[in-house]
Structure 1
Amino acid sequence: MDLRPARAHEAGLLTELALESKGYWDYDEAFLAACRDELTLIPADVERRRTTVAEEDGRVLGFTTLDGIPPEGALGMMFIAPGAIGRGIGRRLFEHTAAKARRLGFARLTIDADPNAEPFYRAMGAVRIGETPSGSIPGRVLPLMEYVLTPR
């Protein structure tokens, strides 16, 4: 498996991967439809949001975005294809994105985590610092997490 910068023409593919990944948690079609706008990438987003993909045999298995301006940033999106969950791809993408953030001068990243993904982010070393409103579902709150980027 290789990690590489995403390409602008992959924006639609990444949007669909994000929705499929979100669907892994048994959210219904109405919920996923409500999330579509928030999970949509357009070609201009790909470079601006520092998008990285995990690819194997020409197939994109996951991706992350690194948003913001140093020293404060966000792990804006992180999604793994449902059939690839549990293979360590999330860990590799997270560690790669954290290393990139350190190189770029970020001191910390926040994460608006899906509640189902909170245990993963805790395992990576992030801590819950509060809650944040969902950008898709009125009245829903998400765990707000923080990952401090210590020099290595």
Structure 2
Amino acid sequence: MILREPKPSELRKLSGLCFRSKGHWGYSDAMMDAFRSELTIRKKDLETDAVMLSEDKRGVTGVVQVSKQGDDAVLEKLFVDPERLGEGTGFNLYVWACRVARNNGAKRLVIESDPNAVPFYTGMGAVPDGEVESRSIPGRKLPRLVHPLQ
């Protein structure tokens, strides 16, 4: 498995991967439609954020996006192809996200997590830090986690 920066021509494919990965949790069609915007990776994301994909001989396995906001880095996206879960993709992308955040001067990595992904993030060292309002569905609360980077 290798990590590399995505090409603009791959953004549609990567957004599709994010959508399939989110759909793995069994959300309704209406919820998936509401999530579509936040699951889309745009060309401007490549210009403003750190974005990395993982791939192997069989193709792209996952994608991660990290933004910098003051002393914090924010894990904007971390998605693994559902057919590739359990192969180490999420681990490799998360380690990369922490490293790039630390190298960019962040003191912590902030995660607004899908509730189903909390066990993964806590297993990687993130700690619960309250809840935040979903950007996609008004009234829906999401777990907030923080991974100290010092």
Shift of 1:3: 0.7
Structure 1 segment 36-55 matched on structure 2, within 5 A? 36-55=36-55
Task: Measure how far apart 1:4 and its partner are.
Answer: 1.0
The match for 2:57 is: 57
Report Cα offsets for 1:105-128 as digits up to 9, x if no partner. 111111000000000000000011
Q: Which amino acid in structure 2 is aligned with residue 96 of structure 1?
A: W
SS at match of 1:37: coil
Say which SS state the counterpart of residue 14 (structure 1) adopts.
helix
Provide the identity percentage: 38
- Distance in 2, matches of 1:57 and 1:47, equals 27
Say if 1:70 and 1:104, in contact at 8 Å, map to a contact too. no
Normalised to the residue count of structure 1, the TM-score between the two structures is 0.94
* Matched length: 150
| Map of 1:113 onto structure 2 | 113
Native 8 Å contact 2:68 2:101 kept in 1: no
User: 1:70, CA displacement in angstroms?
Assistant: 4.9
| Residue of structure 1 in register with 2:143 after alignment | 143
In structure 2, the partner of 1:17 is 17
Q: Give the secondary structure class of the aligned counterpart of 1:39.
A: coil
Quick check: 1:8–1:44 contact (8 Å CA) kept in 2? Answer: no
Distance 2:88 2:113 in 1: 18
Following the alignment from structure 2 to structure 1, what is the Cα–Cα distance between the partners of residues 135 and 90? 23
The worse-fitting range, judged by mean Cα deviation, of 20-29 and 55-64 is 55-64
SS in structure 1 opposite 2:14?
Answer: helix
**C-alpha distance in 2, partners of 1:53/1:9?**
13
Q: Which residue of 1 aligns with 2:95?
A: 95
Contact 2:54 2:62 in 1 (8 A): yes
In structure 2, stretches of 5+ residues that fail to align are none
CA distance in 2, matches of 1:47, 1:63: 16
Which whole-Å deviations, capped at 9, do the CAs of 1:48-99 have from their partners, x for residues lacking one? 2210101112621101111124521101100000000111110111001111
